[in-house]
Amino acid sequence: MSLEIVILAAGKGARMHSSLPKALQRLGGKPLLAHVLETAASLEHSGIHAVIGHGADLVRRTFEIPDFPFAGVSGLNWVLQEKQLGTGHAVQQAMSGINADLVLVLYGDVPLVRPGTLRELIALAEAGNIALLTLETSSPEGFGRIVRGADGEVQAIVEERDADPRQKRISEINSGIMALPAGRLRQWLDRLDCDNAQREYYLTDVVAMARDENCPVRAMKIDDDREVQGVNDQAQLAALEGHYRMSKAEQLLAAGVRLLDPARVDVRGHLLTGQDVEIDVNVVFEGEVSLGDGVKIGPNCVIRDASIAAGTRVLSGTSIEGAAIGADCSIGPMARLRSGTELAAGVKIGNFVETKKAKIGKGSKASHLCYLGDVEIGENANIGAGVIVCNYDGKDKHRTVIGDNVFVGSNSVLVAPVTLQDDSFVAAGSTVSSEVPAGHLAVARKRQKNIARWKRPGKR
């Protein structure tokens, strides 16, 4: 039985008090809608339709950015709901593009529903039934109630504003997620009216229509409220962020990672770990990150789109982005490795060292207070404290090449393009703007002058 998926994501999110449409509010570093699209894409389907309204152009542009952190969806169709007249009206906008037997309705602000749960729901609907995802809760306020008959079968879904006192005491609520037979759904949508407190066309009204036509309505009840938790304000988003963070931490713990405090690690992307990995507090992972066996990450680090090989230690306060780090390196504390950095095994990058487009060979080290940009450094080189590679002339970037076993003394400036050949030595405080041959000492500074009988300036 063929399946197409409709995601309702047209809401403004007024209670978020944000200029962004609700679909673009971020959870775990990604827009809410990206989570739902990724879940939908994991199901066997023949099409996904995202119904957007408020900020529709911004939503589309966001997902079309080339480096946007979302892999994309094959067959994604954007559907515009110009006027937000309710969930039934929203689904109706997408129906003209649907040719499947079954329609699965998801919500752009319900990001944590699991693919396995949805597969069970789809299987429940494959016999021509309506299948609803419901939740038993002690706090049903604000949600539509599942009204069952004496036989226990679902008779209707009553929205909170339209519920009478008896119905408001019902503890089983509607998640909004449902799977429906496409042919019948078209007929039911055409018969919807807006005779309710909100003056909207409710998708949930099709349940009563189905019962009138003896179409079975099956409810799949779950007990994990995180799966169906929607986001309507910043407090709900923060609560869901906590759930998301803990679920990621639980996955890491199950994989054998040592987390010094599971509540203070944020995974905002995909993290692949080896054995005996240790992560300290307040560490944030973004994008695609891999940690090899025995890697230790100190507190207060941010690591994005990076690979770190076995045995490397990343000390506190370090920022790493777009870098490939070899085995048994030492990074930080308070270092910054920017995009294009490649470190071979045994490299040391110390405190307040910044690298960008830097390829550094085995065993080399820059221990303190350096900027290394657009540079290639060979093996066993030593870059002293305060060394600056001047790679930018105000218009273009230029490259510096430093060979094997080179020593660059403290407070030296290397003006690119320049080459320091193997075994050369740069005296401290030098400004080097031309090639240093192999084995040579470069001294590029003015001769010291001492002034006799000099008097220290006094205070006025």
Residues 70 and 211 in one domain: yes
Q: What is d(CA 304, CA 67) in angstroms, rounded to the nearest whole number?
A: 13
Supply the pLDDT for residue 141: 85
Question: How many CA atoms, within 13 angstroms, populate the side-chain half-sphere of residue 449?
Answer: 4
Helix runs in 95-181, H state only: 115-125, 165-168
Residues 301 and 216 in one domain: no
Supply the pLDDT for residue 74: 63
pLDDT interval class at 159 (50, 70, 90): confident
Higher pLDDT, 449 or 188: 188
Supply the pLDDT for residue 73: 65
Q: Which residue among 211, 228, 245 closes a domain?
A: 228
Residues 290 and 204 in one domain: no
Residues 317 and 364 in one domain: yes
Residues 84 and 181 in one domain: yes
Supply the pLDDT for residue 145: 92
Residues 262 and 219 in one domain: no
Higher pLDDT, 316 or 159: 316
80 phi/psi in degrees, rounded to 5: -95, 125
Chain segment 121-133, per-residue pLDDT in tens: 999 998 788 999 9
Q: What is d(CA 180, CA 100) in angstroms, rounded to the nearest whole number?
A: 11
Strand duo 258-259 + 278-279: pairing: parallel
Is residue 309 scored above 70 in pLDDT? yes
Higher pLDDT, 118 or 74: 118
User: Tokens standing for 131?
Assistant: 């299948």
- Residues marked active site are found at 368
- pTM given for the model: 0.87
* Mean pLDDT across the chain: 93
Is residue 287 scored above 60 in pLDDT? yes
Is residue 328 scored above 90 in pLDDT? yes
Q: Please check whether residue 238 lies inside any domain of the structure.
A: no
Q: What is d(CA 205, CA 157) in angstroms, rounded to the nearest whole number?
A: 7
Q: Give SS3 for 243.
A: helix
Chain segment 346-373, per-residue pLDDT in tens: 999 999 999 999 999 999 999 999 999 9
Q: What is d(CA 48, CA 312) in angstroms, rounded to the nearest whole number?
A: 43
Residues 215 and 263 in one domain: no
Higher pLDDT, 249 or 68: 249
Residue with tokens 């309705």, as numbered in its chain: 105
pLDDT interval class at 456 (50, 70, 90): confident
pLDDT interval class at 68 (50, 70, 90): low
Into how many domains does the chain fold? 2
Q: Please check whether residue 447 lies inside any domain of the structure.
A: no
What are the angstrom distances between the C-alpha of 394 and each of 263, 269, 364, 399?
Answer: 45, 36, 29, 14
Is residue 428 scored above 70 in pLDDT? yes
Q: What is d(CA 289, CA 282) in angstroms, rounded to the nearest whole number?
A: 16
Residues 222 and 287 in one domain: no
Chain segment 413-422, per-residue pLDDT in tens: 999 999 999 9
Q: Domain containing 176 — which CATH number? A: 3.90.550.10
Chain segment 187-235, per-residue pLDDT in tens: 999 999 988 878 899 998 999 899 899 898 999 999 888 999 999 999 9
Supply the pLDDT for residue 290: 98
Supply the pLDDT for residue 325: 98
Q: Length of the chain in residues, anyone?
A: 460
Residues 149 and 269 in one domain: no
**Residue 70 and residue 269 in contact, taking contact as beta carbons nearer than 8 Å:** no
Is residue 425 scored above 70 in pLDDT? yes
- Provide the domain limits for residue 126: 3-228
Q: Please check whether residue 458 lies inside any domain of the structure.
A: no
Q: Give SS3 for 172.
A: strand
pLDDT interval class at 67 (50, 70, 90): low
What are the angstrom distances between the C-alpha of 369 and each of 150, 302, 387, 403, 407?
Answer: 76, 19, 7, 21, 16
Q: Domain containing 303 — which CATH number? A: 2.160.10.10
pLDDT interval class at 322 (50, 70, 90): very high
Supply the pLDDT for residue 91: 96
Residues 213 and 326 in one domain: no
Q: Which of 48-52, 168-172, 200-204, 456-460 has the lowest mean pLDDT?
A: 456-460
Q: Looking at residues 104-126, what average pLDDT do you find?
A: 95
Residues 322 and 383 in one domain: yes
Strands of the sheet with 258-259, listed across from one edge: 258-259, 278-279, 296-297, 313-314, 330-331, 348-351, 365-368, 382-383, 407-408, 425-426, 441-442
Is residue 382 scored above 80 in pLDDT? yes
